[in-house]
A and B are shown apart, each in its own frame.
Chain A
């Protein structure tokens, strides 16, 4: 390996390691109100999230003007998992104790001079959120073996997700079939009510006309 090529590898390594802040999705914050994003999580899902706010088109670590935002993360039952005010960047991590929709809301702290504030969110769940350094240290594996272990976990996650999907489809099929059965029964019931009501009508009217001596 020549030095020139090694230098390229080093730059790539540094770039890959040093731009975690540039990852994630960016969204614009309105000047009033909040923007919320949610994610459907299973029980015991681990979430690691990184958020950063900036003004302008691109994220600059050395920017002098940093806006401040308020962040609120709530669980599906309304419990607050994380709440910070007047921060420009931060992290939060939690393990989902309840399965359901978790909401993360971002809002601007007051008026930031009318400029467009963008929030970047790097949201990692599942294997990307796992602490691979600890695993590597604990099991004394590194390099290729660690990579293969990650892939094994990824395959496991895919397998579990597939089971989950199969169960959902079975549930949906049951609901569809019960809806079908219900529609059939209700049509029969409606028809029966129709017939019964018309018989009652005839009986009542006959009694009425007899009373009025018309028949």
Chain B
């Protein structure tokens, strides 16, 4: 009975520990934006990803990215990305504490950015598990759960990138139409200008020679 109770306890702990601590959000960045997350256990694997979905300028399509900096609890820089449109990074949290994820936007336009963080607790549990005759099935299920959450995280990143590409596609299509219309109007305008100038030239020539 006691063994069973403890097994159940372990199960509940596993469930409690491996709830997906992460969320994918989108926000509009002006110049600087920082997010913090409290990492509760050292040795946790932290996955983070970001994608620039669109820039708020309707016409001019510029592929400048944004800067992304990950800072640890003491303010030390764990990773820096400069001028990237999308990227993802995993690291093992050396110590527990508040980690900061900061974005900075160098372009003059507002940009919509999709950001996701996933924290996996499995690694810390691994060390304790080996020394305590842990049920191997539960251990494997925890590994499976971690792998599935990783897949979901990567899917979210992929979805965000697809969103960005869909927007680029649509704007390209629109620009093709506008370019064609503009070109035709410019052609017609240029040719009527030519005719008008020639008429004026000959009228002047005729005027001076006939008089």
Contact = CB atoms under 8 A, between A and B. Distances in A.
A123 B10 CA distance: 26
B23 to A, nearest CB: 4
29 contacts: A1-B6, A5-B132, A8-B128, A9-B13, A13-B16, A16-B17, A23-B21, A26-B38, A38-B25, A57-B98, A58-B38, A58-B98, A121-B25, A123-B25, A143-B11, A147-B141, A151-B145, A151-B148, A154-B148, A157-B152, A158-B155, A178-B173, A182-B173, A186-B176, A186-B183, A190-B180, A193-B184, A200-B191, A208-B199
Contacts of B149: 154
Interface in A1-43: 1, 5-6, 8-10, 12-13, 15-17, 19, 22-28, 35-40
A51 B132 CA distance: 37
A161 B162 CA distance: 12
B35 A143 contact: no
A73 to B, nearest CB: 13
Given A16-B17, A190-B184, A214-B202, A172 B162 contact: yes
B141 A148 contact: yes
B interface majority secondary structure: helix
A198 interface: yes
B169 A22 contact: no
A interface majority secondary structure: helix
A63 interface: no
Contacts of B24: 39
B172 A179 contact: yes
B177 A182 contact: yes
A84 to B, nearest CB: 19
B137 interface: yes
A128 interface: yes
Interface string B125-138: 00010001000011
Interface string B174-208: 00110110011001100100110011001000100
A35 B177 CA distance: 36
B130 to A, nearest CB: 13
Contacts of A19: 40
Given A151-B144, A165-B155, A172-B165, A25 B23 contact: yes
Interface of B: 2-3, 6-17, 19-21, 23-28, 33-38, 40, 98, 117, 128, 132, 137-138, 141, 144-145, 148-149, 151-152, 155, 158-159, 162-163, 165-166, 169-170, 172-173, 176-177, 179-180, 183-184, 187-188, 191, 194-195, 198-199, 202, 206
Contact of B202 (A150, A179, A212): A212
A19 B2 CA distance: 27
A161 B159 contact: yes
B8 A36 contact: no
Interface of A: 1, 5-6, 8-10, 12-13, 15-17, 19, 22-28, 35-40, 57-59, 101, 118, 121-124, 128, 142-144, 146-148, 150-151, 154-155, 157-158, 161-162, 164-165, 168-169, 171-172, 175-176, 178-179, 182-183, 186-187, 189-190, 193-194, 197-198, 200-201, 204-205, 208-209, 212, 214
B176 A143 contact: no
Contacts of B191: 197-198, 200-201
Contact of A176 (B9, B27, B98, B169): B169
Nearest to A204: B195
Contacts of A122: 23
